[in-house]
Amino acid sequence: AGLQVTLATAVSDGLQGRAVKGDYTAETALRLLLAGTDIIWRFAGDRTVVLERVDAEGAVILKAITVEGRAETAWSAVEGYAATRSATGTKTDTPILETPAAVQVVPRDVIEDQGARNLKDVYENVSGVQQAGNTLNAQSEVLPIVRGFESPTLFRNGLRATTAGAVDLANVERVEVLKGPASILYGALEPGGVVNYVTKRPRTPAFHRIEQHAGMYDYYRTAADTTGALTDAATLLYRANVAYTNSGSFRDEIELERVAVAPSLLWLPSNDTELLVDLSYVRETQPYDAGIPLAADGSALVSADTFFGDPDLDGRLIADYVAGYQFSHRFNEVWSLRNQFQFHRADAENESIRPRSVVDLAGGASALALRYQNEELTDDEKQFVVDVTADFATGPVGHTLLFGIDLIDQDSERRRYRQNIPAVLVSDDVEVDFTPPADQPQQVRLADAQRAALYVQDQLSLLEGGRLKLLLGGRYDIVHQESETDGVYTPGLDEQAFTGRAGLLYLFDDQVSGYVSFSQSFVPQPLGTVDQDGGILDPETGTQYEVGAKASFFGDRLLATASLFQIDKENVAVVDADLFAATGRIRYLPGVENRSRGFEVDVAGALTEEIELLANYSFTRTEVTKRLDDPESEGDPLGGVPRHKGRLWMTYSFNEESFLSGLRMGGGVRYVGESSTQFDVDTKLDGYVVFDAGAWYRWEMLDFSLNVTNLLDKEYIVRANSRAIAHAGEPLTVFGSVAVRF
């Protein structure tokens, strides 16, 4: 159960307890361990257990001893809203309070209480993270913007998931966000941060849950979760999550069908060794939805349900496959090894109508320029990671030393046909009816990339009791890219880069810490990213400086983080718009630099036994700091990033003495300030405030839930690519579920 137990010999003399292995609460583990003995236990505080031996009359006959520990690990389930440990920020099982970086965890309890249906519903619980306006044809999830910069790569169990694919929340245990550059741990990445979702693991005792969801707009979802042991000794465990979703939408012509299957096996041959085999399959179909057009002032030109596509086209189909393993072994008290491998394939097809631009006509009318697009994409990625960790001390200094090797191979094949088609007048009654040509000569692009990296990190504990934590790390990456378009080979490109990080954290006591940190990032430019002379642009690089504080309250039941940061991004690739307008050639401007800086605060956990809380606020100021071709644009904000963003979510549980025992109620508010479309900062989007509510009831083996989003039916634009592609927020929506546990 994760508890370290110390016993005086006299307490356990002549007694035998049963072995306990699995995922339990501390109370359950102690009860199983001590069953059949004359040892009793009681909690003396939130983290301390007192063991006492009693005689036949129940009198204590031996001196009490104490046991301290927690069952939570960086990869386990979290009870409640506050996680205390994470590996996303260090690749080691480290307390968040002792990590000199901004790391936020959204546990499964939050996902279920809020009735989250997509990954974007989850990561928006973190300050400084919001949906990007960019719409990728091969990605069903809306990718995040973190600290002002789009993060186009999601992570799954600490490994890269390609920008193509689909995610279903049925198998997601927790969603974690590491803010700021993370290249030292994960390689070529944007400097804003990463979103990493951790999947459910097999566990004991056996647990089974079947649930049925239903809601407005013909929303239906059936899901099942089952786990337990396959052997009497509990050395082989299983878990399987399956889900089927069929849903309409407040948007005309949009219907989603998704199947998700995620089985896994965990082999525990000894206390020091484990092997987890993990599989996942998600298949999703729905029409491609490019949203609605906007007026020049950012207001919607049509009602939120208007569809500007052709429903007779095939739309979008995504099949997402994952197969991998995680192997870990502890050799002794010092050395341990963790090895991961993952194969990820995304097969995506998309036949749709895509808006290109809004044309303002005389008399106040508008037209929408359109394009027919038919494409197929196969994206394969294989990743192999070995992490070796050594825990030791040199004199008074403690070390957690990490050595790592990271190998990645990526292959993609894209076949695409595009054709501009006649524009349509913008109206609520628009009809787009296009007959695709029988002959569609497709552009075929093959791309291949290999990445290899070595990295080292040391987490040092200094001063008395390890109060001072020093984190130092460095990584050396080698990246090779090559591609071929319609049989024309693009010469390969090799890039090498060193990135580093340093952090200093001081524990003022067991509940409060403060830290400062420095970190770097880099991203090689895609092939074909050249300037007017044909020269390849240098890789994008990022640098962050951060200072922050963390505090834990009420026995680690509530965790708060506050931080100030500045990120500078150099060598940003920006299309030379004037050259494209004059010649049609796509070239990029060198030497563009952007900056993001701000303040963030996150609070999550339990205020009391009855009240759980999640709250966050972020102030993010972005700007162009250097642009030689257009100095007047220096100081302009980056598109799609609101300066202010916040969220509050609270739940109240009626205690066991109340006649309403088993009932919980809650709700919250989401606030997003004024922003702009992502690729046109002159088109502003109004800020908005949205209220949500929920109620949950547990009776015997049954769980009931009811969620209402956008309680006041607020009309707003949640994100936008440009004036031509804007997505309206979902109106008032009610959905509920019933589940049986056994």
**pLDDT tens-digit series, residues 34-76:** 766 767 777 554 456 777 776 555 555 555 444 444 468 898 9
| 525 phi/psi in degrees, rounded to 5 | -70, 140
pLDDT value of position 287:
93
Strands 193-199 and 154-156: parallel
In angstroms, what is the C-alpha Rg of the chain? Answer: 27
Structure-token match 């694919």, residue found: 165
pLDDT, tens only, 167-226:
999 999 999 999 999 999 999 999 999 999 999 999 999 999 999 999 999 999 999 999
Among 324, 342, 413, 339, which residue's Cα sits nearest to residue 382?
342
pLDDT value of position 55:
58
Would you state the structure tokens that stand for residue 418, as one six-digit string?
Answer: 């595009």
CA atoms of 60 and 49, how far apart (whole Å) = 15
pLDDT mean over 579-602: 88
Cβ-contact 122, 175 below 8 angstroms: yes
**Per-residue confidence band for 117, with pLDDT thresholds at 50, 70 and 90:** very high
pLDDT value of position 677:
95
CA atoms of 726 and 302, how far apart (whole Å) = 11
pLDDT value of position 11:
62
Residue 740 CB contacts under 8 Å (≥ 6 apart), including other chains: 209, 210, 211, 701, 702, 703
CA atoms of 36 and 39, how far apart (whole Å) = 9
Collapse the DSSP code of 74 into the 3-class scheme (helix H, G, I; strand E, B; otherwise coil) and give the result: coil
pLDDT, tens only, 440-488:
999 999 999 999 999 999 999 999 989 999 999 999 999 999 999 999 9
| 576 phi/psi in degrees, rounded to 5 | -75, 95
pLDDT value of position 127:
98
Exposure letters 496-531 (e unless 16+ CB within 10 A, then b):
ebebbbbbbbbbeeeeebbbebbbbbbbbbebebbe
pLDDT value of position 490:
84
Among 662, 675, 664, which residue's Cα sits nearest to residue 717?
675
pLDDT mean over 21-41: 70
pLDDT, tens only, 306-324:
999 999 999 999 999 999 9
User: Quick one: 490 exposed, middle or buried, by C-beta within 10 A (0-12, 13-18, 19+)?
Assistant: middle
Cβ-contact 34, 11 below 8 angstroms: no
CA atoms of 719 and 131, how far apart (whole Å) = 7
Q: Is the pLDDT of residue 79 over 80?
A: yes
| 7 phi/psi in degrees, rounded to 5 | -125, 135
**Per-residue confidence band for 293, with pLDDT thresholds at 50, 70 and 90:** very high
CA atoms of 545 and 36, how far apart (whole Å) = 56
- In Å, how far from its chain's centre is CA 471? 24
Exposure letters 325-336 (e unless 16+ CB within 10 A, then b):
bbbbebeeeeeb
Secondary structure string (H, E, C) spanning 392-441: EEECCEEEEEEEEEEEEEEEEEEEEEEEEEEEEECCCCCCCCCCCCCCCC
| 362 phi/psi in degrees, rounded to 5 | -65, 145
User: Quick one: 136 exposed, middle or buried, by C-beta within 10 A (0-12, 13-18, 19+)?
Assistant: middle
pLDDT value of position 48:
63
pLDDT, tens only, 393-417:
999 999 999 999 999 999 999 999 9
pLDDT value of position 363:
86
pLDDT value of position 51:
77
Would you state the structure tokens that stand for residue 634, as one six-digit string?
Answer: 């220096």
pLDDT mean over 646-665: 93
CA atoms of 608 and 601, how far apart (whole Å) = 21
Q: Is the pLDDT of residue 492 over 80?
A: yes
Report CA dihedral (169, 174, 180, 185) to the nearest 10 degrees. -100
User: What percent of the chain has a predicted confidence (pLDDT) above 70?
Assistant: 92
Cβ-contact 150, 82 below 8 angstroms: no
pLDDT, tens only, 345-361:
999 999 999 999 999 99
pLDDT mean over 155-171: 90
The residue count of the chain comes to 742
pLDDT mean over 359-364: 90
pLDDT mean over 604-626: 96
**Per-residue confidence band for 576, with pLDDT thresholds at 50, 70 and 90:** confident
pLDDT, tens only, 213-269:
999 999 999 999 999 999 999 999 999 999 999 999 999 999 999 999 999 999 999
Exposure letters 586-618 (e unless 16+ CB within 10 A, then b):
ebbbbebbbbbbbbbbbbbbbeeeeebbbbbbb
CA atoms of 426 and 433, how far apart (whole Å) = 15
pLDDT value of position 356:
92
Q: Which amino acid is at 464?
A: E
**Per-residue confidence band for 13, with pLDDT thresholds at 50, 70 and 90:** low
- In Å, how far from its chain's centre is CA 349? 24
Q: Which residue has the higher pLDDT, 133 or 44?
A: 133
CA atoms of 591 and 571, how far apart (whole Å) = 5
